[in-house]
Structure 1
Amino acid sequence: MPDIQWDSEASLMRVTPAATSAEIFEELVARGTLYELVGAFLELPPEQQDGLLLRAAGQDWTEEYDSDAIRELAARPEYIGVYGAYDTADPREDTAALREAES
């Protein structure tokens, strides 16, 4: 998945097979940017994440992501913003160091 275009238009769909035929039904869950819908997917309870499909499109491309691929998108550094800093860092330590530097 090179160069994800996070600001592309996307749709989050619930895909369910029909009970009596080989048809598949799709229900629109949400529309927004790819970035927004990955976040919306993560906010859903795990049992509601299964059966979702995320479709993103640009001018000359279309991409579909199933629930596993959406989780992989969410783990990408571009999505979570991890560039050299740990998320577990104590923010109180940073603010104390800033106050000392300002003095």
Structure 2
Amino acid sequence: MSDQHRGLRADVEALIVTLRSYVKQETVGPLQGLGRYVLFGLAGSLCFAVAAIFLTLAAIRSLQELTTTFEGRWSFVPHLAGIVVALIFFALALLAIKRDGRRRRDAR
């Protein structure tokens, strides 16, 4: 009777070891992949944001320095142009997000 008890105990221990390794395999691996995905997404978002800021500032500075048209009462126009450039970048970002959402929905 004790041999059967040890055999059952060994089977239960083997089951627990197998279950633990399966759970680690199915959770740790995908979480590492998700971490890389999030890291690259954040890095890309940061690069896009910095580029948008610099290009907006470049548009404002170029209109202020290279043209004499926007002086005096028209000095606000370069700033409006900067807002337009920023809105264009915002719209491009929203389009990219929507397109990615559609692509994922279609893949299902």
Smaller-chain TM-score bracket: under 0.3
TM-score (norm 2): 0.21
Higher helix share: 2
Higher strand share: 1
Higher relative contact order (CA 8 A, sep 6+): 1
TM-score (norm 1): 0.22
